[in-house]
Structure 1
Amino acid sequence: MLPPGSPSDRVPSAPPGTIFVLGPEGGYAVPPRRYTLLFGRDREDVHVPVGVDDPTVSRRHGVFTCTGTDDNWWLVNTGNLPIELPDGKLMLTGHRRIVERGYTPLVINSSKRRSHLVEVRVVDGDDRHPRATSGAETVGPETVYELSAQERLVLTALARRYLEGQDAFPMPLAWEDTARLVNSSPYATKSWTHKSVANAVEDVRERLCRRGVRGLTRDEIGEPVGSMLSVNLIRELLKTATLNAQDLELLVAGTD
């Protein structure tokens, strides 16, 4: 058993495949063997209680299982509400997926506008002897994509609503609005049209697709595509800190 407040970024020394599951009242750690680990609202019937005062959380909301034939753990949603994964994907009732190595936060969003967090970590070979880095210099993300100056300008304009952080549900600017905003910037080196900004964005999208980024092709999205290709591209650039709010300085002269 684990006490409340166990850190999510490091774990005690444990064999690879050991799973750590932590809720607000504590948690469990189990080495890779045949086991079924439960979490949910019923404190008396689960290993890891979560949402104990929220009746919209199911008594047994989820199950982690390991067959013992390997060191993989599987998660099944046995509750009524979806379980949200870090990439925004939703595990609905009955959905099953393997738990990736490393740290994975799971969120149950209540209909009462409450969120309940279950923290999961599956030990990889490199996790057995964690080393504190609290005093070390901050380093950049592992993945940052290279952009030319003009590509950065175009993508900053396209993603302006995301970078400003004012909209609850931001969307990319339309191509015409993106071109107008880019042309109003003192850093634009040519006259941009809706076609040329779309082509510049497509060039970046294709580069990232070749790097293995998912969700950037029509085949992956399916019809109707709408703005999803641009949405997924912007999200990837923001998650990797390739674009950040400081880039808005490129649009200092750009106003609606």
Structure 2
Amino acid sequence: MTEPGTSRRGPREGAVPAPGGRLLPATHGSLARGASAPLPGTVFALALTGGMTLGPGEGREVLFGRNRPEVHVCLGEDDPQVSRHQGTLTHQDGRWWVSNAGRLPIRCLGGRLLFRGEEPLPLDTGYTPLFAGGSRGREHLLEVFVTGPEGERPVPRHGDVTRPPRVWALTEQERLALVVLGRRYLLHEPRPQPLTWRQTAAELAESQPWAGWTDKRVEHLVNGVRTRLSRDGVPWLTREELGEPVGNALNDNLIRALLASTTLVPMDLALIDAA
């Protein structure tokens, strides 16, 4: 019996390209380095075992999944938790889309999970990594690259000066409060969450009993930083953007933004001992 969502084509000796397509060997370099084709809108799809490239055309498809004889790109062939037909890249309305035909969701850019039965997601020009979940926490990478107009391929800039990240200025009190608030993130704990205002104030009061730390003071300092970053264009730092209920999301997003920009780094944990 065919697994729901799988192709019903007869078995083949191995993956073959879709009509008009071309196979990519397993030795093909990562698509993160770019790809080029004479025809804009050409899609490249690559897994560890190889891949395929296919030009644009209404209704054209690239199937990927575990069952090598019935898909164009074999993904996670040694992992029974990956579906035999995990998903499909389809060209429709002038662009490529990804849909999920498998039992487990596909993780897309920004952590977006695409489930079976949901509307396909559009693929932008350039590089897109897609991840299929597997057994024991494994994730199987499908690299996708959609070419743009000729000449759009990124130019190597080996000698250019490295652009520094945007680092936000913090006062000593703001930095200390944020380090304590986000201590679990700086310690690389799995699935960290911010401390509460009360927990943060209690830890600060223990290390600086003379400084008058209270939960209201911590909240005021942290909200001031969050407001500044939001005004500078950092998303998901306001209740209006998130909607209710907010929970810990505002502080979680703030701490992650500060870490991503290197405004906070693990070495800042030394501030707690020095306080």
Normalization by structure 1: what TM-score? Answer: 0.82
1:3 paired to 2:28: no
Q: What is the letter of the counterpart of residue 32 of structure 2?
A: D
Give the counterpart letter for 2:170 in structure 1: S
**Contact persistence 1:38–1:46 (CA under 8 A):** yes
Map 1:204-215 to 2 at 5 A: 204-215=225-236
When structure 1 is superposed on structure 2, of 214-223 and 241-250 the one drifting more is: 214-223
State the partner residue of 1:107: 131
Deviations 1:123-168 (A, max 9, x none): 45675154163x7665434xx2413223332222211111111x22
Question: C-alpha distance in 2, partners of 1:146/1:189?
Answer: 28
SS in 1 for 2:102: coil
SS where residue 193 of structure 2 aligns?
A: coil
Residue 216 of structure 1 corresponds to 237
Q: Does 1:80 align with 2:103?
A: yes
Task: Tell me the residue number matched to 1:121.
Answer: 145
Q: Unpaired runs of 5+ in structure 2?
A: 1-22
Task: Quote the Cα distance in structure 2 between the aligned partners of 1:239 and 1:86.
Answer: 16
3-state DSSP class of the match of 2:77?
Answer: coil
**Hey, what does 1:62 align to over in structure 2?**
87
Matched letter for residue 82 of structure 1: P
Query: What is the one-letter code of the residue matched to 2:111?
Result: G
The answer to whether residue 75 in structure 2 is matched with residue 50 in structure 1 is yes
Match of 2:246 among 202, 222, 225: 225
1:30 match: 54
The amino acid across from 1:179 in the alignment is A
The amino acid across from 2:50 in the alignment is: G
Output the amino acid matched with 1:10. R
Counterpart for residue 161 of structure 1: 184
Check 1:184–1:28 CA distance in 2 against 1; reply closer, same or farther (3 A cut).
farther
Displacement over 6 Å in runs of 4+: none
Question: What number of residue pairs does the alignment pair up?
Answer: 247
SS at match of 1:249: helix
Q: What RMSD, in angstroms, separates the aligned Cα atoms of the two structures?
A: 2.9
Q: CA deviation at 1:111?
A: 4.4
Matched ranges for 1:171-250 at <5 A: 171-183=193-205, 191-250=212-271
- In 1, Cα distance between equivalents of 2:220 and 2:126: 37
Q: 1:156/1:128 Cα in 2 relative to 1: closer, same or farther (>3 Å)?
A: same
Rounded Cα–Cα distance in structure 2 between residues aligned with 1:208 and 1:88: 22
1:21 to 45, 48, 51: 45
The verdict on how the C-alpha distance between 1:18 and 1:195 changes in structure 2, with shifts beyond 3 A counting, is farther
Report the secondary structure of 1:57's partner residue. coil
Three-state SS of the structure 2 residue aligned to 1:234 is helix
Q: Distance in 2 between matches of 1:4 and 1:132?
A: 27
Contact 1:65 1:75 (8 Å CA) reproduced = yes
Letter of the 2:100 partner, please give it: N
Q: Partners of 1:62 and 1:49 in 2: how far apart?
A: 11
The AA in structure 1 aligned to 2:201 is A
Q: Compared with structure 1, are the counterparts of its residues 99 and 194 closer, same or farther at alpha carbon in structure 2 (3 Å cutoff)?
A: same
After superposition, what is the alpha-carbon deviation per residue over 1:69-110, rounded to whole angstroms, capped at 9, x for unaligned? 53x321111111011124222111122211234332222222
Which residue in 2 is equivalent to 1:131?
A: 156
Q: CA deviation at 1:43?
A: 0.9
- Secondary structure of the structure 2 residue equivalent to 1:22: strand
Gap regions ≥5 residues in structure 1: none
Distance 1:193 1:114, change over 3 A: same
Distance in 2 (CA, whole Å) between partners of 1:117 and 1:65 is: 18
Percent identity, please.
43
| Pairwise CA distance, 1:177 | 2.3
Matched with 1:151 is 174
